Amino acid sequence: MSGGDGVETIEFRVAVREAIAAEMERDPAVVFFGEDVAAAGGVFAVTPGLRKRFGERVFDTPISELALAAGAFGAAVTGLRPVLEIMFADFLPLAMDSLVNQAAKYWYVSGEQAPCPLVVRSAMGAGGNFGAMHSQTPVPWLQGVPGLKVVAPATAGDAYALLRAAIRDDNPVAFLEHKRLYSVVDPVSEVETLPLGEAAVVREGGDVTLVSVSKGVRDCLRAAAELAERGIDCEVVDMRSLRPLDTATVLRSVAKTNRVVVVEEGPLIGGWAANLLGILTAEGLHDLDDAWTITCPETPIPYSPTLEDAFLPDPARIAAEVTTRLGLARAPAG
């Protein structure tokens, strides 16, 4: 597809599908399976047509997340590169034994002799009124597991390049796709792969650093645009991956702005935002003008649209908190 200015663009869900297809064409060891991913094309219409293109290398499975993960582990250690889809990331706990106690440990316990190349894709996030058990963002459940990479793209171009890199990785990767991003359209990626664990500065600024991942990055960019009208110049860092965690990029940004706010769609306690601030402090950021997090209340996610909207850290809240913490907005230069 193309944008109105002639720039080639792609929908997020299509970028994910094309990344899987490109790697299946490149490597016959890649297989793809999950619940309703073949005949139905996925509950979020991400994977239609893959079964027709690749035949038996794409197949539907029973509704058993543990069986899916165990099958992927077995396939990965016997020569295949499985990509499995767990429909909602809320159900990842059902697959944790295979992911955490087997796949993530395999390279280590084999004495670095045997890889375990598998990717588990899953839809996460709130904002669509899916209710408390279908709207969570489970990054903290996974981030504390050495051996398991955690990737969460914010744009269609990054989704394409990061997923291709994840499929090529020789160890397990959790690839989390925010369900509110599936319909967004972005420029086509000009690169085949991006390094896992490398953050990106997606907006330059000098007054305060906003850090987030996935949909939170887009919320921060919208907040930054609003804050610019108030005379506050924000830098925005997209973490892209939350394991490995690229603290160096954040440290360079904060050295410039001397203020940082980390935005997470999830609770403060046990969350990745507070963890990142702790790491930054341990690495020398003791004299900042300000550092804080913007997170969700310590409750399950509401089903009510009105309550869910109030629950989430949206651009208006980000902009309001930054304005308050920095004091009155300065008059624009000139």
Among residues 17, 81, 121, 134, the one annotated as catalytic is: 134
Residues 6+ apart with CB under 8 A from 74: none
Cα separation, 218 vs 145, in Å, equals 27
In this structure, the chain runs to a length of 334
- The 3-state secondary structure of the chain reads CECCCCCEEEEHHHHHHHHHHHHHHHCCCEEEEECCCCCCCCCCCCCCCHHHHHHHHEEECCCCHHHHHHHHHHHHCCCCEEEEEEEEHHHHHHHHHHHHHHHHHHHHHCCCCCCCCCEEEEEECCCCCCCCCCCCCCHHHHHCCCCCEEECCCCHHHHHHHHHHHHHCCCCEEEEEEHHHCCCEEECCCCCCCCCCCCEEEECCCCEEEEECCHHHHHHHHHHHHHHCCCCCEEEEECCEEECCCHHHHHHHHHHHCEEEEEEEEECCCCHHHHHHHHHHHCCCCCCCEEEEEEECCCCCCCCHHHHHHHCCCHHHHHHHHHHHHCCCCCCCC
CB–CB of 216/153 below 8 Å? no
178 labelled catalytic: no
The two tokens of residue 211 are: 């850090």
Residues with a catalytic annotation lie at 134
